Structure 1
């Protein structure tokens, strides 16, 4: 099952015993803070979970799948995620 914003809001509501509207606001505010920092090029480090980083990709030669023609793709920024060793260990324990 995929974890959604609604699932997270439900878990916050149950965990803190607050109104659902407030738990949804908490999730939205948290995600907005993360987005703003990534937009400005800053990394987001969540201890025990992982690190979101903005990386620059250089322009590269690509191919139009419809025509097969070569074309130059512009450089762009991408967001990467590197999980912490704590998270990696927990995921690997579940696999055993």
Structure 2
């Protein structure tokens, strides 16, 4: 599902025009990105958490040159769904 499809679905369900829904969806994504950029996690009860994960330093391989490359420790954004969300997805997809 794309951002446009999400916007259309919310607009249809609420009766709010698409332009306003799109602004809200884009602002939500902006707030999540800004929070994660500051190292702050975002918790949405009943849905899940947008979290910042720390990746440890590791050694990788440059296949074309056949050399070892050190990949430094870094942070990445991640999403962790809540248990009820995971159960709902498992239940609906197993049918």
Q: State TM-score, norm by structure 1.
A: 0.89
Unpaired stretches in structure 2, ≥5 consecutive residues: none
Q: Give the corresponding residue for 1:61.
A: 59
Give the deviation of 1:83 after TM superposition. Answer: 1.1
Counterpart of 2:5 (choices 7, 16, 34) is 7
Give the count of matched residue pairs: 94
Matched residue, 1:30:
28
- Give how far 1:67 is off: 1.5
Gaps of 5+ in 1: none
Cα distance in 2 for residues equivalent to 1:59 and 1:4? 34
Q: Deviations over 1:55-83 (max 9, x none)?
A: 12122111112212101112211122221
* Cα displacement string for residues 7-30 of structure 1 (whole angstroms, at most 9, x for unaligned residues): 111111112212211111111011
TM-score, structure 2 normalization? 0.90
**1:32 deviation in Å?**
0.5
The equivalent residue for 2:85 is 87
The alignment yields a C-alpha RMSD, in angstroms, of 1.2
